[in-house]
Amino acid sequence: MKILVTGAAGFIGYHLCEALLKRDIEVVGIDSINDYYDQNLKFGRLSQLGIEKIGARVPLRRCTSTKHGSKFKFVRMNLEDRQELPKLFEQEEFRVVCNLAAQAGVRYSLENPSAYIDSNIVGFVNLLECCRHYKIEHLVYASSSSVYGLNDKIPFSTTDNVDHPISLYAASKKSNELMAHTYSHLFGLPTTGLRFFTVYGPWGRPDMAIFLFTKAILDNKPINVFNHGEMERDFTYVNDIVDGVERILMEPNDKRKQRPIYNIYNIGNNKAIKLTDFIESIEHNLGKTAVKNMLPMQPGDVTRTWANVDNLIQDYNYSPDTDISVGVKSFTDWYCQHYKV
Ligand SMILES: NC(=O)c1ccc[n+]([C@@H]2O[C@H](COP(=O)([O-])OP(=O)(O)OC[C@H]3O[C@@H](n4cnc5c(N)ncnc54)[C@H](O)[C@@H]3O)[C@@H](O)[C@H]2O)c1
């Protein structure tokens, strides 16, 4: 089993690579290491995987891990690269692909829409083409809870209508699901889309709430609390996400073939947590109270997310079990150690 993980220097991609390597699976990771947020965090994650940087960059376009040897290779590459991507598929003969590379973030899609079209649309269709031509057994790809947009029926179910996205990010993720459907239908490519719900944990993204709040509280700066705190999120600990993704990736091909060729699952914690409770948990772990800057709702944002994960439980025995008290502590411990606070 050789797996391609795209977005391997990213938050979820890094954790997935670690988990797959622990199982002794052969992994090739690709990432453009874009500068959407601090690239040092991406280099830091790669270093955990045994891919060392020299000076400011990963030294070679293609490197082998000093920690995992030939079991883990990293290639710095853009999904949009229509020349190099097929060459990689030709050389490596992957069986399964997990696409986590994307321009993430709802708010940034209002500022830089082109980044979403380049990575999430052009990049994704290039990947689909490679999966089609190199007869990939299964493409698993990240979608997002944001596809539920203006949906007000909770918890969000994969049978709900998702024709009302309210950000270009959400529209790009919904487009991925439509494009995957086309490739499953036309070319018999088995695809599984995973709608992730607010993932958090160590090595997390600096643009996400837990990172922003922790940093601001420690720096004695106010935190921005949107919709005056009247928000709920299905916060999901990264290990629970990785566990779900692994269950799907690891499924033997003969068993997977018994499922529909095109599949979509929610992957969340199955609970809506009040933003104010989440903040309290961060404060508790840092032993400091936040100064809150109460603000109105932001454009493109939704007030509540909550995942119905019944299908994933039924099909894959998925069981997210990390309570926010445990997950938040693990993040704040990592943050304080990493940034030497
Ligand atoms: N973190 C969450 O809460 C969350 C929620 C819903 C969906 N998702 C989705 O999960 C996936 C992983 O998210 P993450 O939080 O790890 O984000 P991340 O930004 O940390 O990781 C994505 C990685 O992809 C790389 N990348 C971006 N465009 C690329 C391209 N065109 N070619 C090659 N590499 C590229 C980036 O450099 C980055 O390292 C993304 O698809 C994201 O949209 C994440």
When pLDDT is cut at 50, 70 and 90, the band that residue 301 belongs to is confident
The two three-digit tokens of residue 303, written as one number: 């007030």
Residue 256 lies in a domain: yes
**What is the percent of the chain with per-residue pLDDT over 90, rounded to a whole number?**
94
Number of domains in the chain: 1
Q: Closest Cα to atom 20, ligand 1: which residue?
A: 10
Task: Ligand 1, residue 42: give the atom nearest the CA.
Answer: 39
CA distances, 280 to each of 67, 126, 214, 291 (Å): 38, 43, 11, 12
Amino acid at 282: I
Residue 298 lies in a domain: no
Distance between the two ends of the chain, CA-based, in angstroms?
41
- Identify the DSSP state of 185: H
The two three-digit tokens of residue 159, written as one number: 């049978």
Strand partners, 167: none
Distance 12 CA to ligand 1 centre (A): 7
Q: Give the tens place of pLDDT for each residue, 37-83.
A: 999 999 999 999 999 876 666 656 789 999 999 999 999 999 999 99
Enumerate residues lining ligand 1, CB below 6 A.
7, 9-13, 31-34, 42, 78-80, 100-104, 119, 123, 142, 144, 196, 198-199, 205
Q: At what angle do helices 123-133 and 168-187 cross, to 10 degrees?
A: 20
Q: Closest Cα to atom 15, ligand 1: which residue?
A: 11
Residue 90 lies in a domain: yes
When pLDDT is cut at 50, 70 and 90, the band that residue 304 belongs to is very high
Closest to 64 in 3D by CA, of 50, 54, 76: 50
Domain encompassing residue 263? 2-197+236-269+307-320
Residues 110-135 have a mean pLDDT of 98
Task: Ligand 1, residue 105: give the atom nearest the CA.
Answer: 43
Q: How far apart are CA 193 and CA 177, in angstroms?
A: 7
Catalytic site residue from 36, 141, 169, 316:
169
Q: How far apart are CA 261 and CA 185, in angstroms?
A: 8
Cβ pair 18, 48 in contact under 8 A: yes
Alpha-carbon dihedral 12, 77, 25, 69, rounded to 10 degrees: -110
Chain centroid to Cα 40, Å, comes to: 18
When pLDDT is cut at 50, 70 and 90, the band that residue 234 belongs to is very high
Tell me the H-state helices in the chain.
11-22, 39-48, 84-92, 108-111, 113-116, 123-133, 168-187, 209-218, 238-249, 253-256, 275-286, 310-316, 324-338
**What is the percent of the chain with per-residue pLDDT over 70, rounded to a whole number?**
98
Residue to substitute in 31, 112, 200 for testing ligand 1 pocket (most ligand atoms within 8 angstroms of CB): 31
Distance 33 CA to ligand 1 centre (A): 10
Task: Ligand 1, residue 9: give the atom nearest the CA.
Answer: 39
Asked about 108 being catalytic, the answer comes back as no
Residues 117-142 have a mean pLDDT of 98
Residues 300-313 have a mean pLDDT of 94
Q: Closest Cα to atom 31, ligand 1: which residue?
A: 119
Q: Closest Cα to atom 39, ligand 1: which residue?
A: 10
Residue 52 lies in a domain: yes
Residue 281 lies in a domain: no
DSSP letter string, 49-77: TT---BTTB-SSSEEEETTTEEEEEEEE-
Number of residues assigned to the chain: 341
Q: How far apart are CA 223 and CA 296, in angstroms?
A: 13
Question: Exposed (0-12), middle (13-18) or buried (19+): which is 92, by Cβ within 10 Å?
Answer: middle
Q: How far apart are CA 136 and CA 88, in angstroms?
A: 13
pLDDT at 59: 59
Residue 142 lies in a domain: yes
Q: Closest Cα to atom 7, ligand 1: which residue?
A: 144
Residues 13-30 have a mean pLDDT of 98
CATH number at residue 108: 3.40.50.720
pLDDT at 178: 98
pLDDT at 299: 87
Distance 93 CA to ligand 1 centre (A): 24
Q: Give the tens place of pLDDT for each residue, 155-185.
A: 999 999 999 999 999 999 999 999 999 999 9
Is the predicted pLDDT of residue 255 greater than 80, yes or no?
Answer: yes
pLDDT at 55: 66
Residue 179 lies in a domain: yes
Task: Ligand 1, residue 34: give the atom nearest the CA.
Answer: 37
Residue 274 lies in a domain: no
CA distances, 233 to each of 75, 134, 213, 268 (Å): 34, 39, 15, 10
pLDDT at 232: 96
Q: Is the peptide bond before 59 cis (omega within 30 degrees of 0)?
A: no
Task: Ligand 1, residue 104: give the atom nearest the CA.
Answer: 43
Is the predicted pLDDT of residue 335 greater than 70, yes or no?
Answer: yes
The helix/strand/coil state of 267 is strand
Is the predicted pLDDT of residue 136 greater than 80, yes or no?
Answer: yes
Kindly report the average pLDDT of the chain as a whole number: 96
When pLDDT is cut at 50, 70 and 90, the band that residue 152 belongs to is confident
